[in-house]
């Protein structure tokens, strides 16, 4: 049974100093005290198998001893300098070796910053203003990204719907929205707005919805045909799907990629990566004042995050790591299917073995609207029961990590059985 004591006090304190009682990221009704491996503990000492893992960055688990050793070695040497440092250069070299589209890297502190600058970079490089994104696609918190992220009403494409207050109408006018996995709509918009679109930005796996066969390659081909830059938002998929990210897994290289989460090893770090020609827009001496993209950040490329990322990436390069990660994911997917099928519950397991979730529906999930048509009440109950049985996850994603053990999987199996029974009985 869950214990409530110290945690309730912290929740009350949080409501006094934080809007809605939280950081804006996750359920403010739980306070995580610590994490180790694939487990976390809340402020009451309740223990959970962690399939949230910080929303993705802790791919090798919490407190990995080799990552900690690298961080502890760096800390006495300095935490940040607002100047170049060798560890940040080393990390940029490794990213450039690993990521197909990357010749050069520019650091920022968050994935949302990286996506914002990627869109701005595309505008600087093309001299065009409009950006095409996909309904339901998440690209951070900038004004452009907050268009049609999670609209509750359906409008005709390509009209953009702002999902936040405080966004000027002028931003809305520069965003075009298309349904994910619909290449014909993309072709139509590229033709209608020929010469006006700077970039298409896309998550190669949109939240958990996979690209239809050939969709990403078709995007690549159409962008090339129309002189539009293709941006892959690989904040989540980078170094998770494969060492070279979704670009390696799907065999499609964008013009620009954004990276985050794993490259910082649990510390704030993200990056924009592209060819030397495109990245030259960050260099005023190379492109001149009119085409220069100004970018700076107090903590960009700080050495603590760089060494944590370097060690995490070294661990990921070792033999068998990605095979093991996919095996863990497939094992959990099999468990979910077995228990829900035994209860006769309609569902789809959507995503990749390294990042997925269950969607309670009896139709194919191809885009935001087909995902939205699923039974959200069943999803809420399923996740609530998982939490009470010691499973910690996002309402819409399950992130396997390499620290998951056989004991973790056994607890997951039992929790999934209880959750399936609860949904069937509701």
Is there a catalytic annotation at residue 322?
no
The DSSP bridge pattern shows strands 39-42 and 355-359 to be unpaired
13-33 per-position pLDDT tens digit: 999 999 999 999 999 999 999
Over residues 45-65, the mean pLDDT reads 97
> Does the structural domain 65-316 have CATH classification 3.40.50.20?
no
3-state secondary structure of 217: helix
Q: Which of 138, 250, 322, 399 is catalytic?
A: 138
Residues of the chain with CATH 3.90.1150.10: 6-63+320-425
Residue 39 has φ and ψ, to the nearest 5°, of -125, 150
pTM, rounded to two decimals: 0.97
Q: Does residue 385 have a pLDDT over 50?
A: yes
DSSP label of 127:
S
Its sign, for the CA torsion 337, 338, 342, 343, is negative
Residues of the chain with CATH 3.40.640.10: 65-316
* Dist. CA 408–CA 416, nearest whole Å: 12
Q: Which of 233, 352, 367, 408 is catalytic?
A: 233
Is there a catalytic annotation at residue 233?
yes
> Does the structural domain 6-63+320-425 have CATH classification 3.90.1150.10?
yes
* Dist. CA 329–CA 411, nearest whole Å: 15
| Strands annotated E in 235-368 | 256-259, 270-274, 348-352, 355-359
Distances 237 to 109, 111, 258, 351, 353 between C-alpha atoms, Å: 17, 12, 10, 11, 12
pLDDT of residue 4: 57
57-92 per-position pLDDT tens digit: 999 999 999 999 999 999 999 999 999 999 999 999
- Count CA atoms closer than 13 A to 378's CA, side-chain side: 18
pLDDT of residue 5: 77
Give 3's pLDDT tier (boundaries 50, 70, 90).
low
232-278 per-position pLDDT tens digit: 999 999 999 999 999 999 999 999 999 999 999 999 999 999 999 99
pLDDT of residue 152: 86
Q: Which residues contact 141 (CB under 8 A, 6 or more apart)?
A: 112
The DSSP bridge pattern shows strands 32-36 and 197-202 to be unpaired
178-209 per-position pLDDT tens digit: 999 999 999 999 999 999 999 999 999 999 99
Q: Which of 130, 261, 378, 393 is catalytic?
A: 261
Is there a catalytic annotation at residue 138?
yes
């Amino acid at each position: 049974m869950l214990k409530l004591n110290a945690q309730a006090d912290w929740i009350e304190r949080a409501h006094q100093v934080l809007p809605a009682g939280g950081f804006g990221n996750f359920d403010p009704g739980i306070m995580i005290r610590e994490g180790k491996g694939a487990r976390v503990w809340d402020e009451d000492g309740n223990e959970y198998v962690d399939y949230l893992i910080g929303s993705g960055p802790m791919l090798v688990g919490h407190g990995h001893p080799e990552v900690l050793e690298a961080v502890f070695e760096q800390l006495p040497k300095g935490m940040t300098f607002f100047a170049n440092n060798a560890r940040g250069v080393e990390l940029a070299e490794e990213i450039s070796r690993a990521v197909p589209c990357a010749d050069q890297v520019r650091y920022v502190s968050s994935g949302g910053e990286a996506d914002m600058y990627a869109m701005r970079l595309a505008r600087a490089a093309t001299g065009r203003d409009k950006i095409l994104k996909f309904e339901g696609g998440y690209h951070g918190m900038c004004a452009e990204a907050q268009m049609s992220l999670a609209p509750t009403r359906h409008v005709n494409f390509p009209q953009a719907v702002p999902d936040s207050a405080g966004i000027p109408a002028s931003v809305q006018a520069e965003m075009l929205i298309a349904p994910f996995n619909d290449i014909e709509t993309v072709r139509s918009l590229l033709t209608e707005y020929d010469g006006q679109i700077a970039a298409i930005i896309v998550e190669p796996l949109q939240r958990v919805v996979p690209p239809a066969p050939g969709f990403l390659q078709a995007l690549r081909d159409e962008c090339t045909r129309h002189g539009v830059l293709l941006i892959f938002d690989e904040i989540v998929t980078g170094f998770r799907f494969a060492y070279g990210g979704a670009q390696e897994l799907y065999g499609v290289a964008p013009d620009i990629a954004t990276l985050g989460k794993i490259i910082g090893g649990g510390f704030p770090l993200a990056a924009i990566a592209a060819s030397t020609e495109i990245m030259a827009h960050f260099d005023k001496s190379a492109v001149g004042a009119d085409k220069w993209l100004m970018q700076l950040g107090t903590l960009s490329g700080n050495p603590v995050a760089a060494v944590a990322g370097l060690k995490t990436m070294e661990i990921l390069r070792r033999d068998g790591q990605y095979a093991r990660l996919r095996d863990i994911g497939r094992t959990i997917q099999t468990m979910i299917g077995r228990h829900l099928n035994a209860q006769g519950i309609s569902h789809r397991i959507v995503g990749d073995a390294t990042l997925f979730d269950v969607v309670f529906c009896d139709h194919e999930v191809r885009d935001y609207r087909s995902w939205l048509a699923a039974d959200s009440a069943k999803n809420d109950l399923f996740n609530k029961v998982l939490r009470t049985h010691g499973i910690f996850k996002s309402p819409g994603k399950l992130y396997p990590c390499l620290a998951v053990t056989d004991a973790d999987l056994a607890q997951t199996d039992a929790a999934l059985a209880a959750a399936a029974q609860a949904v069937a009985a509701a």
